[in-house]
With several copies, the nearest count.
Chain A
Amino acid sequence: MKVLYFAWLRDRVGLSEEIVEPPVDVATVGELIAWLAQRSPGHGEAFADPTIVRCAINQDYAKAHERFNAGDEVAFFPPVTGG
């Protein structure tokens, strides 16, 4: 599945997107964050405080308890600051 990173999450991870294959027991956004945080020191830094990380599944906001599917586009980013 495809994971996207924006703003300082991208800076810390060092990637704007990557293809990952989490194990089957990683099913929710919260579990995906915990699993991604282990991939590299940069990932660990990006996800150090999950409360300030926002997530979208297929371009709609998703909370920590929500589940994703294998083919989904999952994005992580900081609270938005447009307008």
Chain B
Amino acid sequence: MIKVQREDFDIGVELAALSQGRDNVGAVASFMGLVRDVAGPGALSAMTLEHYPGMTERQLEQLEAEALARWPLDRVLIIHRHGRLLPGDRIVLCAATSSHREAAFEACAFLMDWLKTKAPFWKLEEIDGKSSWVAARQDDEDAAARWQNNNQSE
């Protein structure tokens, strides 16, 4: 399931819905990303997430399908917020449910790596009163590259 939204989310409610009535799901791996005060305490006043409506949903649906095809999962959840967020705010939630914990963990890491390099979101940081676009990181590219040889167990 894919949700691209301005609103906050409740991980407890979301994960309960994901495994509700699925009695063969023993493993729920999840990752939550928060707005981080990268420049030191109090320096970051806000972060605005811009995205490409339409393409975002399209990319995340492809990502969900890819994860379901690669691992023995029951379900996948990706929630990504956009708009103006404050330090400590929730940005993203990825979750994968399975009867196998290794599959759930690996799929969840895969979702995050792919999302960091493929989902059309851009972060604008406000630090000390100045706004600047966050630059993409090479190590996110490297992390995503490890999934490209179609090797499920790394």
Chain A residues engaging chain B, CB cutoff 8 angstroms: 4, 6-8, 56, 59-61, 75, 77-83
Q: Contacts A6-B122, A77-B122, A79-B136 given: A56-B55 contact, CB under 8 Å?
A: yes
Mask for B76-96, Cβ within 8 A of A = 1, else 0? Answer: 000010000000000110000
Q: In the complex, A70 Cα to B85 Cα: how many Å?
A: 38
Nearest Cβ in chain A — how far from B15, in angstroms?
17
Interface size class of B (residues with CB under 8 A): 20 to 34
B124 CB contacts on chain A under 8 angstroms: 7
Q: Contacts A81-B122, A83-B92, A83-B115 given: A75-B136 contact, CB under 8 Å?
A: no
Tell me whether B135 and A81 are in contact (CB under 8 A).
Answer: yes
Nearest Cβ in chain A — how far from B63, in angstroms?
11
For this complex, 16 residue pairs linking A to B, each with C-beta atoms less than 8 Å apart, are A6-B52, A6-B122, A56-B120, A60-B58, A75-B120, A78-B133, A81-B121, A81-B122, A81-B123, A81-B134, A81-B135, A81-B137, A82-B49, A82-B119, A83-B115, A83-B119
Instruction: Choose among A4, A59, A60 the residue with the greatest number of B CB atoms under 10 Å from its CB.
Output: A59
Q: In the complex, A79 Cα to B118 Cα: how many Å?
A: 9
A81 CB contacts on chain B under 8 angstroms: 116, 121-123, 133-137
Q: How many residue pairs, one in A and one in B, have C-beta atoms under 8 Å apart?
A: 72
Q: In the complex, A25 Cα to B92 Cα: how many Å?
A: 43
B50 interfacial contact with A, CB 8 Å = yes
Chain B contact residues: helix, strand, loop or mixed: mixed
Tell me whether B120 and A6 are in contact (CB under 8 A).
Answer: yes
Q: Contacts A6-B50, A6-B52, A75-B52 given: A82-B115 contact, CB under 8 Å?
A: yes
- Which one, B52, B54, B112, B135, contacts A77 given CB within 8 A? B52
A75 CB contacts on chain B under 8 angstroms: 52, 55, 120
